[in-house]
Amino acid sequence: MPLAFMSQKSILSMIFFVCLQVQQYLEPFQLSEANLRDVSARLSKDLDLGLGKNTHHRAAVKMLPTFVRATPDGTEKGDFLALDLGGTNFRVLHVRVVEEEQKVLKMDSQICAIPKEMMLGTGEQLFDHIAACLGDFLISQNLKGQTLPLGFTFSFPCEQKEIDKSILIRWTKGFNCSGVEGKDVVKLLKEAIRRRGDYDIGSVAMVNDTVGTMMSCGYKDQSCEIGMIIGTGTNACYMEEMRNVRRVEGEDGRMCINTEWGGFGDDGSLKDIQTEFDVVVDKTSINPGVHIFEKMISGMYLGEIVRLLLVRLAENKLLFKGQTSEALRTPGTFETKQVSGLENTQIILTKLGLKWNSVDCGVVRLVCDTISSRSADLCAAALATITNRIRTNRKLARLKTTVGVDGTVYRKHPKFSEKLRATVRRLAPECDITFLVSEDGSGKGAAMVTAVALRLAHQSRLLEDSDGEVREEEKDK
């Protein structure tokens, strides 16, 4: 009987029957709590490897020191510049930190394009272009003549040596400027500004986007000491005890560590939970064998996992009466935003050239929910690893902390954040976790990193001065 003539109850019964058959394909994506605890335990070992002085070079999870030594304490204030470079456009921002209201205000911003030929030209050309755009922005904001500190978000693989020294490891995202790899990008920026000679900048702080997320939220909530991004990619940072950061001298205090947890599993440690569809997604990506964890959960890949599953179900006559379409068979045509917004399932399936019915729509919805639920569960397992680690490090019976979070998957999927919070509560029951969505972490967060670095430097100078006075008094005696 055609579905148009069936009752709603009959259609629901048919969806239920088909979903039972589909379940065997979805089962590998449905991880038990025991599975997730096991994943968390594996990641915990990888964090130690990444922090180790003699083991970090072979660790899948790199645990990069950021040289950010504190989170905001609410006393930061002043005007700052922020520069956000990570693609074919870059942004310049003027940010004001207001102590009395504990607000980080974006006063204004400007987007500057980077021509294609400049992305493949010399490093000097690129940084001269950045310096020119920064100079134009200062004029437009009536800031010329002021020497403002600058937070620099440079979203390419770098090895950070100090808060103001970061060595480019390799270009990505279509850039291949000569004379930059292996060089300090802060030095290259300052040299370009010096070549102009018509303005100057103050101290510079290099900022990773996860750190920016944590710091932008940290001014609102001083218990924020974790930053997490779940968008096109995924990553997290957190405040680690210095005694555990073996690659950096010093035992006292804490330092923010950029985990680069997207690389979890690059050593094969997640093979047992990778499905055949995950393996295909990895093998057909531009970087096979790299960022395995990220490919199981982030926005760049979720839609493709769903597409591969839908093709398989259609081939096995569990969807679309066994028929596919050229669009559905084409990689990349099922976007992650469609995974998270299938209120318009029928429109999306029609655009893909598929002949569908109500049962098909129900099955597609189930597939999307299953894939996004696994993503949330795996993120929760990783986050639980970090919160449990912080609690153990500090020998606390109970930890109260805040996670600054950003990314389109977390922000826009209607059930993702709810699922993640529920799972992390089960995996880290001794941790009370608040989630705070970041507002412009790459801009405001970069300014906050700079503001905190200046505060710490000022406090250090005061301490040195007071120590000097004490020593002078002792000499007089």
Q: Which residues are catalytic?
A: 173, 209
Q: How far is CA 449 from CA 286, 306, 424, 434, in A?
A: 33, 38, 28, 21
Contacts of 9 (CB under 8 A, 6+ apart): none
3-state secondary structure 161-188: EECCEEEECCCCCCCCCECCCCCEHHHH
Burial, 326: exposed, middle or buried (Cβ in 10 Å; 0-12, 13-18, 19+)?
exposed
345 touches 358 (CB < 8 A): no
Residues 128, 130, 136, 138, Cα dihedral to 10°:
-120
Which DSSP symbol is given to 122?
B
Burial, 19: exposed, middle or buried (Cβ in 10 Å; 0-12, 13-18, 19+)?
middle
Contacts of 377 (CB under 8 A, 6+ apart): 31, 36, 419, 420, 423
Distance CA(122)–CA(142), nearest Å, equals 31
E-strand ranges in 114-232 read 150-154, 158-162, 165-168, 204-207, 224-230
Contacts of 365 (CB under 8 A, 6+ apart): 342, 345
Contacts of 330 (CB under 8 A, 6+ apart): none
Distance CA(220)–CA(436), nearest Å, equals 9
Rg (CA), the chain: 25
